[in-house]
Amino acid sequence: MNIVVREAAIEDAQLIAHLTRACWTDKVAATSSGHHESSERVCNDLMQGGGFILLLDDEPVGSVRWLPLDTENNCWEMLRMGVLPAFRGSTLSQHLLEAVIHAAQTSGVEELRLGVRSDQPRLLDLYAAFEFELAPELEYSHANPNEPAPHVMRRFLRN
């Protein structure tokens, strides 16, 4: 099994939009905007921030993105991390998480944030294993106003 995480390029926007929708199918509530992910939105996210694609034996099986927060210096917000259903349970998502953490540290970013949907509390333990902590005082800037607010988690980085 050959696992590669590569940086996403603008040309990957359609692939990432497809991966996001496929990762959300039967996993995330139907009201999530991830089910309607567009290549235009992904392209915009990649231009403002960045992303990674997870490859397993050269097959794209997951992705993640991040955006710098306008209101906080040296802080990135992670979004839309997912692994295709057929490849879950093999700790593949940790490769995406580690890639973002490393990219942030290399870029001098001091903090990473992410939102965990209120209907997916099992993910809190996954992120806690990577030193993310609940931050109830924070709001997730990409929250869907038509859904319950997600749990915000943060990790301070030591460069």
Please write the tens of the pLDDT for every residue from 106-154: 999 999 999 998 888 888 998 999 999 999 999 888 777 878 888 999 9
Q: Which residues contact 154 (CB under 8 A, 6 or more apart)?
A: 111, 112, 113, 132, 133, 135, 138
Q: CA geometry: angle at 44 spanning 71 and 123, to 5°?
A: 70
What is the reported pLDDT for 72?
A: 82
Please report which confidence band the pLDDT of residue 29 belongs to, taking 50, 70 and 90 as the band edges. Answer: low
- Provide the pLDDT for residue 24: 74
Q: How is residue 38 annotated by DSSP?
A: -
- pLDDT of res. 36: 65
Query: Per-residue pLDDT tens for 47-93?
Result: 999 999 999 999 999 999 999 998 888 999 999 899 998 888 778 89
pTM equals 0.91
On the question of pLDDT at 26 being above 80, the answer is: no
